[in-house]
Structure 1
Amino acid sequence: MALQLWEALKEAIPLYTGLSPATFFTVLALALAMYHVASDLLESSDRLREHEEESQPLPPPVQLEESTEEELKQYDGTDPKKPLLMAIKGQIYDVSLSSPFAYWAFR
């Protein structure tokens, strides 16, 4: 039964596709591999989007009176008792709850 099916496929594939059976199955395998890669990428982006929706919004800016760069450096994450602060366009934000890699990103 399986041998008859294989023989029928070997005759039908070149007639319908113009490809040899080996080429046809190679193209089929590549198409399946690309499908799986693309679906994994889309699935991981969906998981990332769900994670972003679950995450809490950033707290409001920390209000420090006219801080100098030296004063702000005290809040660089090296002291676990102090928050990790970051200044953007004059506003100071507490980024302590963000990624553990935030400390290294702003050094």
Structure 2
Amino acid sequence: MALQLQETLKEAILVYTGLSPATFFTLLALLFATYHVIYELFGPSETHHRPRNLEEMQPLPPPVQLCEITSNGSNTKKPLLMAIKS
């Protein structure tokens, strides 16, 4: 029974694709590996998970001002304010 199924599959692969079974399964494995590589590079990642609605978001803490600051750095006795948004 298993040998008959194997022969039937070999003939079907050859007739429908024109490839030998070894070539067919090699190409299938390469396509599968390529899909997984591309999905890992461009697919969603769990480290960059964003909340789907406002209820999942936590409120930000209020800003803290430690001292007087300058906006252009003209006063050397006061620190310059810098912000980095990531």
Q: TM over 0.5, yes or no?
A: yes
Q: Which residue of 1 aligns with 2:36?
A: 36
Q: Which residue of 2 aligns with 1:104?
A: none
**Aligned residue runs from structure 1 range 1-107, under 5 A:** 1-41=1-41, 42-44=43-45, 47-48=47-48, 50=50, 64-65=69-70, 66-67=72-73, 92-94=81-83
Larger RCO: Structure 1 or Structure 2 (Cα < 8 Å, ≥ 6 residues apart)?
1
Structure 1 unmatched ranges of 5 or more: 76-84, 86-91, 100-107
Cα RMSD after superposing both structures: 4.0
Residue 27 of structure 1: SS of its match in structure 2?
Answer: helix
Give the TM-score normalised by structure 1: 0.47
* The structure with more radius of gyration: 2
Structure 2 unmatched ranges of 5 or more: 52-56
Q: What is the total number of aligned residue pairs between the two structures?
A: 75
Quick check: which one's strand share is greater? 1
How far, CA to CA, are the matches of 1:40 and 1:32 in structure 2? 12
